[in-house]
Amino acid sequence: MEMISRIRGFCFNPSRQFEAARPDTVGDAFKYFILLLAFLAAILAIAVTVIVLMLGIPEVSCFAPLLGAGAFVGIIVIGIFAAMYISVWLHIWVYLLGGRKGFKQTVKAITYGTTPCLLLGWLPGVNVIIAPIWSLLLVISGLMELHEMSPGMVIISVVLAILVPLVIVGVVGAAIGLMMLDSMGM
């Protein structure tokens, strides 16, 4: 019951819920995150299994449960890696812009803030637009509350954490494209 109360709190009253989560350990935050990630992974693994069985290809259908289990494990591993990577990358920007409450607070903002993506990530459409925006807003709220930063500094931190990799990828892509055009004599 406490889990449902926390989910409701993070989704609908994030400031109060993040304030209540301030004393939580990273372990507490990861237990919450893993439970929701396992929920998402289970739904997606079942979907993979059902789709493979519905295709009706005998050579593949016999592997449907194995493919579903692989999807489950893969989603869990990728989800944990992504949460840690995003936490580290975002914390660099948070720290540079004044967040001095520690890396653990950033991890908690990410793990708790991803609640909408983990709950709704299996719904087509919602998983592309609504859940990511909602999660982004929750992460911003969490960073403001847990790092005691101004909304402006948190938003700049998040925007930089998103834009810097995109700009780097764009520059590298453009450079590769120009080299390819040059090698083709264009």
Work out how many domains the chain is built from and give that number. Answer: 1
Span 13-56, pLDDT tens digits: 999 999 999 999 999 999 999 999 999 999 999 999 999 899 88
pTM value is 0.91
In the chain the first and final C-alpha atoms are separated, in Å, by 65
Q: Mean of the per-residue pLDDT values for the chain?
A: 95
What domain range is 163 assigned to?
A: 2-183
Rounded mean pLDDT of 93-108? 97
Q: Which secondary structure element, helix H or strand E, spans residue 37, and what is its range?
A: helix 26-55
What does each C-alpha distance from 4 to 12, 36, 139 come to in angstroms?
A: 12, 11, 19
pLDDT above 90 covers a percentage of the chain that reads: 87
Model confidence at 186: pLDDT above 80: no
Residue 22 sits at φ, ψ, to 5 deg, of: -50, -45
Distance of alpha carbon 148 from its chain centroid, rounded?
22
Q: 128-136 — which CB contacts under 8 Å span 24+ positions?
A: 134/11
| Reported confidence tier of residue 57, pLDDT bands at 50, 70, 90 | confident
Q: Which two tokens stand for residue 37?
A: 């990630």
pLDDT mean over 64-75: 94
